[in-house]
Structure formats: C-alpha cells, structure tokens
Chain A
C-alpha cells in the first residue's frame, strides 16, 4: 500500500516518539531503591541536610529522605509504606506503630523540639507579643491570619493548639487560623505573608530561608506538652538503616541537633 507523503511524515514522527517512550521503559520496576529510606518529620528538613553530610563523611550509606507530616507517615507505614526508619516529631505515633507491630521496638527519643512564634518582615505584629494578646490583635485587624500546622496529625500543630489554649486564645482565634499540612507548609504561609504570624518549629524557623524572612521568639516549654521526638527502626529495616539509627544517637548527631533548634535528651 502506497502511503502518501503527508502521512509518512507523521508516522515517522510518531514512531520515533513511541520508540523513545519504549526505550525509557525499564526492564523491571525502577531499581533505584537502594539506600536507607527515611521518613522524617518536616521540622527536620534543615537539620537532615547536615546529618546526612556528616553520616556520609563517616562512611555511612546513601540516604533517601522523605519529608512530611508525622501523622501521614504513620498512617502510610501502617499501610505498608516501605520505609526503613521513621523520625517522628512526637512519641505517640511511634508508640502506636510499635503496638501494632510495624516497628522493631519502641525506638528512642532523638531530640526535643521547641515551639516559636514567627512573624514575617513587614507584619504589623512584633514577635515579642504574648500569645494571650493575639485575640486583641485579631480584633483590631492587625492579625488576620495565624498559620500553624494541622493539629490532627502533626505534633507541632498539636503543641501550637495546646499553647493557644493555655493562653486562652484558642477559641477567639478560630476564624483566623490557617492550617498547613505540615509545619513546613505552615512556615510557607508565614514567610510569604499570607499569614501575619505563625506558630512553627524552632528548627524550621532557624532555616536560613525562613529566618531571613522575619523574626521569631521561642515560646516557653510550659505552654505545651513536651515535644519529645522519637525515632524507630521499622520492620524489615536494613543493616545500613541500623547504622544511621546508631549515628543519630551518637555525640556528633546530638551536637548537630542542638545547633538546629532542638535539645537532646540526657540519656536517650
């Protein structure tokens, strides 16, 4: 059958595209899943970079880090998500995973977090403002939106709620609250000016991209239950993962944590 020139051109193009597509198909599913698969709370974004560097410098294995909300990770792990190590921003999720048999053991506390009140540059508010005064700021229009992480599934969101409740500001501020899916997203709301203030993790506020956008005040620990951040090795974790776990409990890692807005437990 003689194909007309016009169609021959299109056919060749489509054939080339098709071959390119097929050529990019792997023989098997992507085999890039080597390395330690870490699920880390998003408050650890900045500190993970330095931890990873230090770990590799000591000869440790490649890390593949996912950042996100602790609660979402906990649910995914319960559904079989293939992580080796889970660094939660609290203890409750880890305990539940252990109770349900998804974790090797009860894990250990690797850091204790702090909550800060962050105020972006150009906001009518001052970070020195007390939480108890925020409702008045909202009433006279200086505080339209207050960003925080989602209390339902993020430890820092829960802590923010506790802090506001302790300051008798929670109910009054309801219409002003915007929730981020993770504390990192809450930070985005605050830095972009979508919110005039944010209740964030100290480790997040320390990140250059956040710190450079405004100022913050570390809130007293008495305002909320302690943010004890627990990590745990999951079932099926590799030997490399065990290596990283051990590293995180070591002195070098603890020093790094301390520099990034965490305190470390005495005995672990």
Chain B
C-alpha cells in the first residue's frame, strides 16, 4: 500500500520499539509524554537520525532498511519537516525561505510556486519580511510552506503549535485540518496534547518510552485503551480494578465486583471468571440521571456526592464520590448547560449511570511490554 510504514528499534540513547503506519491522505498523531521518543521517530523518518534496526517506507520507496543496508540521505528523501521551533533561516526573506527547496528550478518558476504556497498557507504579502519580523503563527506558516515546497511524500510536524498562544493555536489547527484534507500524503503530527490529537487526527498512536502501545482512531483509543498503561498515558481518570464475577453469554453481559457493588458490562468472554481486571469509563460517558427518571439496575446506577466542580465555558468537570465504602472517586464531564439545568453544586448529591457499553475492560497487571491492540 502506498503511505507511510515505520518500524524502528534501538536500545539507546533513546530506546525505541515503534511500529505504525499511516495511509495516504490521513493524519496520524504520535502522542506520549516527553522523552517517549516521538521526536526521535520523526527524525528517523526524515533521515536525521539512524535507528539501530528498522525499516521506513513511504509511497512504496524504501527510505531506510537496516537489514538491507539502505539509508537514503535527508536531502534525497522527499520529506517535508516542520521543526518544533520552525528553524527558519534568519538571513533569508520569507519567500527565499520557502523557495530554498526549489533551487533546481528556474527563478521565475520558483517565485511562482513560492507565492502560490504562501497563498495556500495564508501568508501572502509577507514575502519580503524576515523571520524575526513575524509573529509565532506567521513563522509557523512559513515553516509549513517551506515543508510543502518540497512536494513531499510525507509531511512531518513536530509539536508545531506548542510555541504559540491559545487563539493562534486554535486558528492554526483549523488551517491544518483543512490543509490535511487537500493534501494527498500521509501526515505525522507529534503532540502531547490529547485534545489536539483527537481534533486533528484520523489515527492516534500512543507512545511510551519509545514503544508504540496502541494505534487506532482517536475515539477508539481514548475511550477504549488497550491496557491500563495506555489508559494512564491518555489521562483516563476513571481507571479502576475490579473482580470479574461471571458471564452471561445468553443475556450478553459480564458482571464485575467493584468496591462492594456489582456492575454489569458488555459481554467480555476473554476474561476468566474470578480473575482481576482493570476497567475504565470515559468521563464523557458517565451519565447524569435526572430525579424523575429511575433506571433499572442493569445500567449501573450509583449514588454519589459532588466533591468538586470545574465549570468551563462549554464543559463542566465534576469529581464525584460514590456513596458507601470505600468511597471511590468518579470523574464526569458534561455540557455546562446540562449542569446548570440540574443546578449541580458542590456538596449536592447526584445519581449517575454507567452505561454497560461504555465500560471498557483491560488486563489487570500493568505490563511494560504492550502490543498493538486491534482497532
């Protein structure tokens, strides 16, 4: 298939055990904490770093293959790279920065393409300026335009929005999203911001210490992490351990013993009765039960007390304490208008429901080595 396929391994200085692929026209977000090797992987794809073992292939062209002794130089890989601090050439004008990859073309052609790229990245009119005369957002666009000038087979972005303010970041994200729809190449975006990843990416790949733990669509990964470790990495706040009491295959549920209560979740035959499991539920999937509606036990109703409320402009985050011992904490995220409608306040009581389908089971022990989970 055309698109990007990456498999890299090395013991140090930054350990890597990563494998992922990104089809043409899709945007893959590499997420993970600092030091998890995201930038290193990007540099390997660009040819700026040689991993000890592995293979990088893009659009059918092998860029790196340790077994076959192939290592194409960065100059010859058609990779468009946007560096974290943009790395614009301070002694060149914006137009010259952007057209530098086009040195081989005649001047008139170079200028035409360059101006076209500036238009595309919405910075037409800044041709003669120098990088230090530009704002952060404008510099980022120049870096992007320069990367696109390469007519790249793959576009790499290394935390491109980390250095700009919130408002600019929002605007740039929108532009990147629309750009990625028109570009027919794989795009790899490195970010530590999960929201950004879920907004922009078609696929999310979670990294920890150089190892790819899970790759999948954003809502799949963020709602159904493959392991407790991934759950922690994606900041899944409702992460618990429970005992799998039993299954009911005909009725399609499995039963969990959790904190003295029983919960019913979707049928999960992969786990043995009596074993310990980990489970999680996304805070957005925790449902508020209005007073007047009482559901059956099957939907895991719980009485809670509101410990804390963070009311944002669009979303409210609530920390709930479950009634009865051992007083476990649940996080709930709901639209602010709903929170207002129900007059939620700290100290008040609240009945919530955990839908069966939203409860996601994972193996209990947090192992260091993970596998790519099937999506």
Contacts and interface: CB of A to CB of B under 8 A. Distances in A.
Interface of A: 1-2, 4, 7
Interface residues of B, number: 6
B7 to A, nearest CB: 39
Nearest to B130: A4
Nearest to A3: B91
Contacts of B93: 2, 4
A4 B132 CA distance: 13
9 contacts: A1-B92, A1-B96, A2-B92, A2-B93, A2-B95, A2-B96, A4-B93, A4-B130, A7-B91
Contacts, number: 10
Nearest to A6: B91
B101 to A, nearest CB: 13
Interface of B: 91-93, 95-96, 130
A14 to B, nearest CB: 15
Contacts of A4: 91, 93, 130
Contacts of A7: 91
Contacts of B130: 4
Contacts of A1: 92, 96
A268 B213 CA distance: 104
B142 to A, nearest CB: 15
Nearest to A7: B91
Contacts of B95: 2
Nearest to B93: A2
B132 to A, nearest CB: 11
A4 B133 CA distance: 14
A159 to B, nearest CB: 69
B288 to A, nearest CB: 62
B172 to A, nearest CB: 27
A247 to B, nearest CB: 67
B320 to A, nearest CB: 61
Nearest to B128: A2
B263 to A, nearest CB: 67
B93 to A, nearest CB: 6
